[in-house]
């Protein structure tokens, strides 16, 4: 693997401003003072990404009640995200990083293993950002299935 960037606990969370599924700009700084779960996924409406998004949707009330806001980020266009939100009844913001700049800055885009081959793409990753804007938890190469349940256990939610 290359020496691509990875974030660790205690690092400042790189700020971003990205359009959501409606085209409205969303900035990480907008959530300062709150805990935020930022998860990066490869593509809307694919089986694994749908499983993961629906798990977040189904656990959103408990996460919100525990003080966690959820944001999903992918390289999809806002229109594709809007269809994904409508098709799956998603109730949290999905953000479009078409340039992959934010994905790269967070270490969620780069070389990864896929069926024994090294490819370049989105590395399914989840981060918890504390109210001061620092990384409280950094998880790379997470599995789509069961990830939200593990995250809830780790967060005590």
Which of 16, 3, 1, 10 lies closest to 106, judged by CA? 16
Q: 41: which 2 tokens?
A: 């996924």
Q: Is 113 helix (H, G, I), strand (E, B) or coil?
A: strand
Question: Torsion-angle region of residue 85: left (phi > 0), alpha (psi -120 to 50) or beta?
Answer: alpha
Q: Is 3 helix (H, G, I), strand (E, B) or coil?
A: coil
Residues recognised as catalytic: 49
Report the C-alpha gap between 65 and 157 in whole angstroms: 9
């Amino acid at each position: 693997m290359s020496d691509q960037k990875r974030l660790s606990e205690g690092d400042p969370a790189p700020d971003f401003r990205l359009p959501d599924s409606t085209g409205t700009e969303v900035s990480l700084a907008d959530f300062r003072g709150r805990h935020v779960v930022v998860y990066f996924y490869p593509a809307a409406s694919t089986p694994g990404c749908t499983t993961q998004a629906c798990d977040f949707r189904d656990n959103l009330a408990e996460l919100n009640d525990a003080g966690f806001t959820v944001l999903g980020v992918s390289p999809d266009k806002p229109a594709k995200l809007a269809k994904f939100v409508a098709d799956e009844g998603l109730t949290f913001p999905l953000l479009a990083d078409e340039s992959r700049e934010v994905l790269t800055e967070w270490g969620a885009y780069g070389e990864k293993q896929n069926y024994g081959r090294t490819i370049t793409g989105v590395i399914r990753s989840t981060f918890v950002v504390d109210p001061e804007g620092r990384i409280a938890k950094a998880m790379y190469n997470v599995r789509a299935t069961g990830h939200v349940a593990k995250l809830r256990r780790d967060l005590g939610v």
